[in-house]
Structure 1
Amino acid sequence: MQLSIGFWSFKTLASAYELGLFARLSGTDGHTVDELARMLGVGQRPAELLVTACASIGLLELRNGRYVNSAVADEFLVPGKAYHFGGWVQMLDRRLYPAWGRLSEAVRTNRPTSWNPDEQAHLFDSEDPELLALFWEAMHSLSTLTARELAAHVELSGSAALLDVGGGSGAYDIELCRRYPHLRATVLDLPPVCEIAAEKIKAAGHADRIAVAPGDFLADPELPAGHDVVLLSMIMHDWSDEQDLAILRKCFAALPPGGQIVISELLVDEEKAGPPAAALMGLNMLVETTGGRNYTAAEYEQWLRATGFVDVRTVSFEAAGANGAVLARKP
């Protein structure tokens, strides 16, 4: 029963966020159902049903007849907060919810359903700039939270310069530079994405330490040199085995002797029976990509050793977008 009604909870969250419920409650002493109905411009009945549902799943709390945000809703679902997660919720609602409605089609055809490979070169070749902007805002939310955990579990005090391959909005670099004041970083991504990253980096006050390098890590023959650590964060699952091997070869060539590579991902267990977050994200790659999936730590280790890396090890942690990192060194 819980599995069959899982979408009820998600749509409760997505609709409340879209209506601005959490933003209106933030910083207040709470509101009654009647007050919220007027503020949201909806009827008393749907307002009551919505806030009751939100309270039941931990998004709201009822205090003396007035609804207030729960701690988790106030931290993650209010625009402007440091770890605002709303972009991810919106992207799921507008892009992936419809695509997952066609999951059986994706299984039968082995083709993505969130975009048309006959009309687009790849997932990020979007015809809808608004949806693409929403995608990158979602990735920033997810990556910021994940980078905070990665920074706490992967030691980079001995590294001076980091290359973030496919670094998106620069969320990982911002968090890592906050933890390591000596660290400098470069975000490598497509030109339009680098524009987004530059804005996020400037807003975070790190424009003097984090650079952007427009490029295509799949098509370009080589990656920028001059870095002693390469980060691959939440990008390897987008591509096939062969493409990932090609990416690793470029990373190996770009690193100096002794340089380190860090692969941060939701890792599937060796038996390929879970955990749910990694397995379901892997299935999400079926509706989102033409060849991607989530991989095991052993698969990454095999590729890294075949590429020439040594001292391969895995660090486990729990975060929104990853449950571990596979690390290795160039001899």
Structure 2
Amino acid sequence: MQLTTGFWAFKTLAAAHELDLFSRLSGTTGTTAPDLAETLAIEERPADMLLTGCTALGLLVKHDSRYRNSPIAEEFLVRGKPYYFGGWVQMLDQRLYPGWARLTDAIRTNRPTTWNPDRQSSLFDGEDPRLLAVFWEAMHSLSTFTARALGRAVDLSGARRLLDVGGGSAAYDIELCRLYPDLTATVYDLPKVADIAAGKVEEAGLADRIGTVAGDFFAGAALPGGHDTILLSMILHDWAEDRCRGILRKCWAALPSGGQVVVAELLVNDERTGPPPAALMSLNMLVETEGRNYTPGEYTRWLRDAGYQDVRTVWFDGPGANGAVIGTKP
């Protein structure tokens, strides 16, 4: 029953977010079913059911007759809050939920269902810019907490210059630079994304330690040099093996002797039995990309084939990744 009804919980959350329930309740004394019905111009019956459902899921709390945001909803589901996660909810609801409805098609054809590779250059080609904007905000929140877990698990005290390949909104760089005062970083991503990263870095007050370089790691140009550590966080799962190997070779070419590459991902175990977050994210890659979530053994083999030595896996508990596979250039 938990497996078959799992989407009930998600759609309750998604509907409440779409109706802006949590932002409406923030900073108020709460609401009742009649009040919510009047505010949303809906019948009292569904208003009561929505409030009850959200409370049952831990998204609201009820005191006397009034419903208020729970701490987790107040922190992550209220627009404008530092860790607002609603963009991820919206992206899942509007893009991935319909794609997962066609999971069987993806399995039968080995092709994504959220976009058409025959007509679009990438999964974001033609996507609503407004949806992409809230998606990047959500990814920033997700990456912030994952970066903290990575920074505590992987000792980067010896690193001085970090290159974050496909670094997105610079969440990793901001958190790692906060954790390691001697570290500076460069975000390398597509021009539009690099602009987002620059804004986030400025907001964090770290523009003197984190820079951005616009580029495409599949284009012919080499990766920016002068860095002793390269981070690939939640990047390689998007791509097929040959492209992953190509990225790792480019990292090798950009690193000095003694430099290291850190591949942070939701790793599927070598037995290919789980864990569930990695295994299900891998199916999400089937719906969205040409890649999948790989195992530590696969990354280890690719790194060694590229020339890296002392390859090791460090496990940790983060919302976007559960481990890092690290290799050193001799």
TM-score range relative to shorter protein? over 0.9
Q: Structure 2: 5+ residue runs without aligned partners?
A: none
- What residue in structure 1 maps to residue 219 of structure 2? 219
Aligned equivalents of 1:120 and 1:226: distance in 2? 35
Hey, what does 1:325 align to over in structure 2?
324
1:296 is matched with 295
Specify the SS of the correspondent of 2:282: helix
Structure 1 residue 78 displacement after superposition: 1.4
Q: Kindly provide the amino acid, as one letter, of the partner of residue 100 in structure 1.
A: W
State how far apart, in whole Å, the 2-side matches of 1:128 and 1:64 are. Answer: 42
Structure 1 residue 245: deviation in Å?
0.5
Q: Is the 8 A contact 1:255 1:330 kept in 2?
A: yes
Q: 1:299 & 1:126 partners in 2: Cα distance? A: 33
Counterpart CA distance in 1 for 2:141 and 2:39 is 27
**Residue of structure 2 in register with 1:278 after alignment:** 278
* Identity across the alignment (%): 64
Secondary structure in 2 aligned to 1:315?
strand
Q: What residue number does 2:263 align with?
A: 263
Distance 2:103 2:17 in 1: 25
Question: Secondary structure, in 3 states, of the residue corresponding to 1:223?
Answer: coil
2:13 counterpart SS class: helix
SS of 2:158's equivalent in the other structure is coil
CA RMSD of the aligned region, Å?
1.4
Answer whether contact 2:166 2:188 (CA < 8 A) is retained: yes
**Which secondary structure state, in structure 2, belongs to the residue aligned with residue 311 of structure 1?**
strand
The one-letter amino acid of 2:252's match is F
- Distance (whole Å) between structure 2 residues aligned to residue 218 and residue 63 of structure 1: 55
Find the counterpart in structure 1 of residue 98 from structure 2: 98
- CA shift digits 1:154-185 (9 cap, x unpaired): 11121111100001111111111121222111
Match of 2:252 in 1: 252
Q: Which residue of 2 aligns with 1:166?
A: 166
Q: Is the 8 A contact 2:87 2:131 kept in 1?
A: no
Alignment of 1:76 onto 2:76? yes
Structure 1 runs not aligned, ≥5 long:
none
> What's the counterpart of residue 133 of structure 1?
133
Match of 2:123 in 1: 123
Amino acid at match of 1:215: G
How many residues of Structure 1 are paired with residues of Structure 2 in the alignment?
330
CA distance in structure 2 between the partners assigned to 1:39 and 1:220 by the alignment: 55
Distance 1:86 1:8 in 2: 18
Deviations 1:128-176 (A, max 9, x none): 3233334323322221221121122111121111100001111111111
Q: Is the 8 A contact 1:87 1:141 kept in 2?
A: no
195-204 or 108-117, larger mean C-alpha shift: 195-204
Displacement after TM superposition at 1:272 (Å): 0.7
TM-score by length of 1: 0.96
Report the Cα distance in structure 2 between the residues aligned to 1:140 and 1:170, rounded to whole angstroms.
8
Provide, for residues 256-310 of structure 1, a one-character-per-residue CA deviation record: whole Å limited to 9, x for no partner: 1111211110000111111110001000111101x20000011111111111111
> Displacement of 1:127 after TM fit?
4.7
Q: Secondary structure at the match of 1:318?
A: coil
